[in-house]
DNA sequence: ATCTGCATGTAACACGTTACATGATTTT
DNA sequence: AAAATCATGTAACGTGTTACATGCAGAT
């Protein structure tokens, strides 16, 4: 029930095509809301049927034509309604595939699990570096979105979450490695 | 692609009915893999068609009959195959609905957001308490699952993750509250 | 009397993923 | 010459959610 609202949120900043929305998702929202471009296109048609967005076609000569979507008044109302639902009412935790595997990891050897966790730690480290280097404000500026200080504040808050999350995951791996090494003796 | 494997994993411990599997999911795996009972039933029929599990019906007099599922050799192979795929190959981050909302929170007032974050913090605190009080080993013992020390080790690892996650979320809220209060002045 | 627990499921819908199709332009 | 970028989408399948149906036993 939320890719729809992510799209409404972005369209509340500016008019975008499906293709542009996909870029923004990949650049700025992917950490907490990965999205496929095909799904974005589908949701856009659903949103238009619902009357929450409206499209107009821009004819281009050097590139294929594009369809720009803008938020309608009803769409803006729906966005505000969604935002007004307390965060505490959302399901707190989603799915953590890595934990599901960890839960059943006793089937494999200690050595294998230690090596596997090491690789995973490296991947978290890489992702953390990528996140720290990311610059949402710049990316939005490229898309000619106005950077109001309040907006930037909440963008930064989500970036902070991403970094805290990866750091926590790395500390968790260190603890588990210690637990395994203790058990081994 | 993973509820299937969660079920295979549990059936590698012991024979269970759909109803029992649902209990175990709710008691022990819900934090990192919430599951609906209707979906569990559906996956069980899919798994049986695939030849990964096999059922037998237990006739009962005081209660409705029940269908116990056991892992086949092919099922065990599939479980091992899945476990052997490096964790680093899994998608690192899933969806965080709370972050999606946070990202677009500039539409609402500082006061509203502060109050909303406060409520959310309380909810994390409650969940953390619940998790700390949970005792997977006991719950499995009730289901007559053998508690091998290696199993218990990885169960604990996932519990540790849950706790670290909630603690991190609470610290994150504290930081964001401070950010908002700084901006306000 | 009403609710909870035991036990199994179906149906409809919503959301997510993967693969495929098209075709010009621009960069490597 | 090959790959990436711009741009839109469809089809099929897989996964997840919500609502509904059934019915007995035991506890409040």
Closest CA to A96 of B164, B95, B123: B95
Residue A92 has a pLDDT of 85
Digit-coded pLDDT (tens) for A135-177: 999 999 999 999 999 999 999 999 999 999 999 999 999 999 9
Residue A102: closest CA among B58, B152, B137: B152
Residue A11: pLDDT above 90?
A: yes
Of the pLDDT bands very low, low, confident and very high (cuts 50, 70, 90), residue B184 is confident
pLDDT value, residue A140: 94
CA A16/CA A68 separation, integer angstroms? 5
Return the pLDDT at A154: 98
Six token digits for residue B82: 């899945």
Confirm if A99 and B158 have CB atoms less than 8 A apart: yes
Mean pLDDT, residues B91-98: 90
Measured in angstroms, the CA of A155 and the nearest CA of chain B are apart by 5
Residues of B in contact with A105 (CB under 8 A): 83, 154
Percent of chain A surpassing pLDDT 70: 99
B68 three-state secondary structure: strand
Cβ distance A107 to B80 less than 8 Å, yes or no, reads yes
pLDDT higher than threshold 90 for residue B2? yes
Q: In terms of pLDDT, which residue wins out, A179 or B185? A: A179
Rounded to an integer, the average pLDDT of A100-108 is 97
Among A15, A17, A7, A24, CA closest to A60: A17
* B4 has pLDDT over 90: yes
Average pLDDT over residues A51-69: 93
Determine the 3-state secondary structure of B60 from DSSP.
Answer: coil
Q: What is the DSSP letter of B168?
A: H
- Residues of A from 8 to 37 whose C-beta is within 7 A of strand D: which are they? 17-20, 23, 37
> Residue A119: closest CA among chain B residues belongs to which residue?
B88
pLDDT of residue A30: 96
CB A116 within 8 A of CB A109: no
- CA separation for the pair B95, B169 (Å, rounded): 15
d(CA A119, CA A168): 16
In degrees, rounded to 5, the angle at the alpha carbon of residue A83 between the alpha carbons of residues A80 and A89 is 140
Q: How confident is the model at residue A93 (pLDDT cuts 50, 70, 90)?
A: confident
Residue A63 has a pLDDT of 86
Query: Mind giving me the DSSP string for A149-180?
Result: HHHHHHHHHHHHHHHHHHHHHHHHHHHHHHHH
Which of B87, B116, B122 minimises the CB distance to A116?
A: B87
For residue A77, pLDDT beyond 90:
yes
A97 contacts in chain B (CB < 8 Å): 2, 90-91, 94
Q: How far apart are CA B169 and CA B152, in angstroms?
A: 26
User: Taking the alpha carbons of B124, B130, B136, B139 in that order, is the dihedral positive or negative?
Assistant: negative
Tracing tokens 């968790």 back to the chain, one arrives at A172
* CB neighbour list of residue B9: distance below 8 Å, 6 or more residues apart: A100, A103, A104, B79
Structure confidence at residue A62 (pLDDT): 81
How many angstroms separate the CA atoms of B45 and B142, rounded?
26
Distance A83 CA to D22 C1' (A): 40
DSSP A59: P
Mean pLDDT value of segment A70-91: 97
Over range B91-102, report the average pLDDT: 93
- How close does chain B come to A19, measured CA to CA in Å? 20
Min distance A103 CA to chain B CA atoms (Å): 5
Residue A86 φ then ψ, to 5°: -50, 140
pLDDT at site B156: 98
CA distance A84 to A87: 8
Chain A CB within 8 Å of residue B27 CB: no
Share of chain B above pLDDT 90, in %: 93
Digit-coded pLDDT (tens) for B22-80: 999 999 999 999 999 999 999 999 999 999 999 999 998 888 899 999 999 999 999 99
Query: What's CA A2's distance to the chain center, in Å?
Result: 11
Percentage, residues of chain A above pLDDT 90: 92
pLDDT at B113: 98
Report the pLDDT value the prediction gives residue B108, as an integer from 0 to 100.
Answer: 97
- For B99, the closest of A161, A171, A176 (CB atoms) is A161
Q: Place B94 in a pLDDT band, splitting at 50, 70 and 90.
A: confident
Q: Range with the lowest mean pLDDT among A31-35, A60-64, B107-111?
A: A60-64
First to last CA, chain B: 49
pTM over 0.85: yes
| b (16+ CB within 10 A) / e for A9-39 | bbbbbbbbbbebbbebbebbbebbbbbeeee
- pLDDT over 90 at B10, yes or no: yes
How do B53-58 and A66-71 pair as beta strands? unpaired
- Model confidence at B92, in pLDDT bands (50, 70, 90)? confident
Is A159 in CB contact (< 8 Å) with chain B? Answer: no
């Amino acid at each position: 029930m939320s890719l729809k609202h992510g799209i409404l949120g972005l369209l509340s900043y500016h008019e975008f095509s499906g293709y542009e929305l996909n870029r923004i998702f990949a650049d700025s929202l992917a950490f907490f809301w990965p999205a496929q471009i095909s799904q974005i296109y589908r949701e856009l048609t659903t949103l238009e049927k619902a009357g929450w967005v409206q499209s107009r076609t821009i004819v281009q000569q050097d590139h294929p034509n594009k369809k720009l979507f803008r938020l309608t008044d009803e769409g803006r109302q729906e966005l505000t309604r969604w935002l007004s639902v307390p965060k505490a009412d959302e399901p707190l935790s989603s799915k953590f595939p890595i934990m599901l595997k960890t839960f059943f990891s006793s089937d494999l050897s200690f050595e294998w699990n230690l090596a596997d966790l090491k690789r995973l730690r490296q991947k978290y480290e890489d992702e953390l570096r990528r996140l720290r280097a990311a610059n949402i404000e710049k990316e939005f500026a490229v898309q000619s979105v106005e950077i109001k200080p309040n907006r930037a504040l909440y963008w930064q808050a989500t970036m902070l979450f991403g970094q805290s999350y990866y750091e926590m995951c790395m500390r968790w791996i260190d603890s588990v490695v210690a637990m395994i090494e203790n058990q081994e003796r």
